[in-house]
Chain A
Amino acid sequence: MEGAVGLAAAITYLEGIGLDRIAEHEQALAAAAIEKLIQIEGVTVYGPHALGHRAGVVSFTYGDVHPHDIATILDRDGICIRAGHHCTQPLMRRLNVAATARASFYLYNGPDDVDALAGALVKAGALFGYVPA
């Protein structure tokens, strides 16, 4: 009972904001994140960089720093990302990577979160002694 009431409230809330606006917000943050991350030497962002072909998620790797190590380091700065196979082992094999790190943006994220992500990533690189060639 309470589940159905809660779901109805959530739907009302999201429709009040507008699903299109939420999607637009997510995509704008993803675009900003991609732009920032590809400027960090050693970072590879997977998937199309252009808007309109992706949701608000950004998968990436950073040199030889394993995604799980990236996730642990970012976690210390209060940044939660997902790391690993993302239940897509065939894709990981195709991309020839052991795993990827993945940041997801949503309604409650803002541009400051993009800056925090990029800042913490640089820190992770420094901790691992990643020196751009």
Chain B
Amino acid sequence: MDTSRPEPQLSALYQELILDHYRRPRNKGTLEDATHSVSLNNPLCGDEIDLQLRVDGDVIKEARFIGRGCSISQASASMMTQLLKERTVPQAIALAERMSAMMQGDDGAARDKTLGDLRALAGVSKFPVRIKCALLPWNALTDAMKAGRG
């Protein structure tokens, strides 16, 4: 086996908090009075998300999702919806950028308290093929925000 570079530990990827969000997703469901709805999937792996938001003025009042996929994508969606309530649209976009930076291995982003539970996903950056799983809900959020401003 090639031992020239350290193997990332599985425990860094599958933290208890991630498995908890996977098993007991927060904000799972649909919104009747959604102002923004985005469906995204990754056709290669089959992960799916339907993200719904209720935005009042510039503030996200509610965020819900329905999804099917791996623990990383579903935990990321659950954690994301937890964070979005009462955030302004620019704040939500800034969070998406921090999340993306963390997935690229940015240590500062991984310590950023504004990312809340999402910091548990920092280990995903060591598993390149799984980064797209963690970012799927965030891509849906970014699409929703863009649609809202268009």
**Chain A residues at the B interface, C-beta cutoff of 8 Å:** 64-69, 72-73, 76, 78, 83-85, 89, 92, 98-99, 127-129
Contacts and interface: CB of A to CB of B under 8 A. Distances in A.
B111 interface: no
Smallest CB-CB A-B distances: 7 pairs: A66-B70, A68-B70, A99-B46, A98-B68, A84-B45, A85-B46, A69-B71
Interface in B10-48: 10, 13-14, 19, 23, 44-47
A68 B130 contact: yes
A95 B50 CA distance: 22
Contacts of A128: 14, 19, 71
B98 to A, nearest CB: 24
Interface string B61-91: 0000000111110000000000000000000
17 contacts: A66-B69, A66-B70, A66-B71, A67-B70, A68-B69, A68-B70, A68-B72, A68-B130, A69-B14, A72-B127, A72-B130, A73-B14, A85-B46, A89-B46, A98-B46, A99-B45, A128-B14
A68 B10 contact: no
A84 B46 contact: yes
Nearest to A127: B14
Contacts of B47: 68
Chain B contact residues (Cβ within 8 angstroms of A): what range? 20 to 34
B10 A73 contact: yes
Contacts of A129: 19
B9 to A, nearest CB: 8
A79 to B, nearest CB: 12
Contacts of A67: 70
A76 B44 contact: no
Contacts of A85: 45-46
A68 B68 CA distance: 12
A15 B64 CA distance: 58
Contacts of B131: none
A127 B19 CA distance: 9
Interface string B110-126: 00000000000000000
Contacts of A98: 46, 68-69
A68 B7 contact: no
A99 B1 CA distance: 29
The listed residue with most B CB atoms (<10 A of its CB), out of A72, A76, A98, is: A72
A102 to B, nearest CB: 13
B140 interface: no
A38 B14 CA distance: 25
Given A68-B47, A72-B127, A128-B71, 4 more contacts: A76-B10, A83-B45, A92-B46, A128-B14
